[in-house]
Chain A
Amino acid sequence: MASDDRPPLLKADEEDTVSGNAPETGGPEFMVRAEGVHKSFGRLEVLKGIDLEVRPGEVMCVIGPSGSGKSTFLRCINHLEKINGGRLWVNGSLVGYRQRGDRLYEMREREVAEQRRDIGMVFQRFNLFPHMTALGNVMEAPVQVKGLPKAQVRERAIALLERVGLGDKMDAYPAQLSGGQQQRVAIARALAMEPALMLFDEPTSALDPELVGEVLEVMKQLAVDGMTMIVVTHEIGFAREVGDSLVFMDGGVVVEHGRPRDVIENPQHPRTQDFLSKVL
């Protein structure tokens, strides 16, 4: 079903920043690799064998109708959901399991938490901590999880908030911010852990149309800086402009996968054609 086109490795003009992103060990060839990933909720099979690869520095956009399993797949990548079948690697290591011989050993909660540190996630509903200021939200994980000194984290957090254009909103509580501003704080919060991979779960779906642009702009900048990103989105324009690859999912399988321009302008599968004709 999936098209055989592999996504382009990198955009030529980004080669430099991206190579800086790879681990010193030479690094794994793929940032994310999924092999026949299955996921069921009770008797409902949501993912029916997903095979995907994301290279370091790649921006992969995932589109598809609701219920197609795209958000579930994203949540499997940082083990918010346990997969029932197949294999999933991030940065060269198996997610949630350790393999010795042919045997899989479930990881302890603490070990899974350690794996998640390298994966940032941005949610549709922002999920900022409402009892902390913007700055407090960004500082929370580096201080509490990595145990870094507060002064140092503070400096970095301020820089991050300035980077997402919220230098003047440090001391505001989430309730005092617009949706777009909240989502930008959420992006800064995820970046504060210096992740190797960023997952975006419909980051603009809960926003007023007017506010979508400011969030996409921040994400675009992130892509230019060489971050590896998987973006579940309905923003076809963003996928076309910023994405290196585009995946169309439906019914728990990858229907089409290729360069964004190819998939959008020349979809091969009738299901893709149908979907795109409705959203474009």
Chain B
Amino acid sequence: MTLTDETVPRERPTEIKAVPVRHYGRWVAAALILYVAVWAAYSVANNERFGWDTINAWFWDGSILDGIVMTLELTVIAMLMGVFGGILLAVMRLSPNPLISGVAWLYVWVFRGTPVLVQIILWFYVKALIPTFSLGIPFGPTFVHFNANDLITAFVAGCLGLGLNEAAYMSEIVRAGILSVDPGQGEAATALGMSRAKIMRRVVLPQAMRVIIPPTGNETISMLKTSSLVSVIAVPDLLYSVQIIYNRTYQTIPMLLLASIWYLVMTSVLTVGQFYLERYFGRGTAQRQTMLERFVANLRIRGGRSA
């Protein structure tokens, strides 16, 4: 048996100084990609048919900006309906009561099984199906009376179509998240005397969030684009706004490119937001770094080595 005498301070080993492996392949690939990229950018920028002048002229137009606001409104409302509806449906689906879980199953079956475009149009024409409806006790007195024509505007129909459809998809995402949480967590909370609702809210859902957030970000980005479907019922979103313009000016391609650029800008912002959201809900586990942070950390290591 050997013993190390810890009282004698050991000399720090000198750091290895070696020539790092040269990745010639990477340099060749980088040069090649750069060449192709420059060529592509040059040819697109100089192709008159893309209509860069038109895009530039309309880019900050008031009707476009209004359309962007409408698209964002639709996305936020539909996603809120989707997330809260999805949580409700997922909890219902996992209920021990077979009737409640059956209703949730039926909802998902119908709303996930039919095209969202059809649902939006149906909500728009719901007044044809149910011209008036009332709030009250079935077969009993009524309290409030609505005219479907006044209540279901194109905007409301769009929100209903997108939101109720999204709830069906979100419920499956939430359900997967809930099931991913270690059953021991629920048991520990149960043993502490917590009620089922409290366990869900305080213990299970916060942990399920880590699994739920990434696909939800994905769904939000998807919703931002799917919301353009409401243009068929004349809700003035981003796509409908450019359609109005190109129907008048016949500059179809430039205006669609303009809309695409704006959609890309918005989804990029959402992607960054998603990263920080994921990091927040991942607390208590490994921390993730932004690309910038990783870059800076890398520079530091290299800098430290050469110093």
Contact = CB atoms under 8 A, between A and B. Distances in A.
Given A144-B198, A144-B202, A78 B207 contact: no
Interface string A172-192: 011100000000001001100
B42 to A, nearest CB: 51
Most chain B CB within 10 A, of A109, A125, A144, is at A144
Given A116-B190, A175-B284, A109 B185 contact: no
Contacts of A276: none
A96 to B, nearest CB: 13
A122 B25 CA distance: 56
Interface in B177-198: 182, 184-185, 187-196, 198
Interface string A192-215: 010000000000000000000000
Contacts of A141: 192-194
A116 B187 CA distance: 12
Given A127-B185, A127-B187, A140 B192 contact: yes
Interface residues of A, number: 31
Given A127-B185, A127-B188, A175 B285 contact: yes
Contacts of A100: none
Q: Interface SS of chain B: helix, strand, loop or mixed?
A: helix
Contacts of A65: none
Contacts of B192: 116-117, 140-141, 145, 189-190, 193
Interface residues of B, number: 21
Most chain B CB within 10 A, of A123, A130, A193, is at A130
A43 interface: no
Interface string B205-220: 0110000000000000
Interface of B: 182, 184-185, 187-196, 198, 202-203, 206-207, 283-285
9 contacts: A80-B191, A116-B191, A116-B193, A121-B188, A129-B185, A130-B285, A145-B193, A173-B283, A190-B192
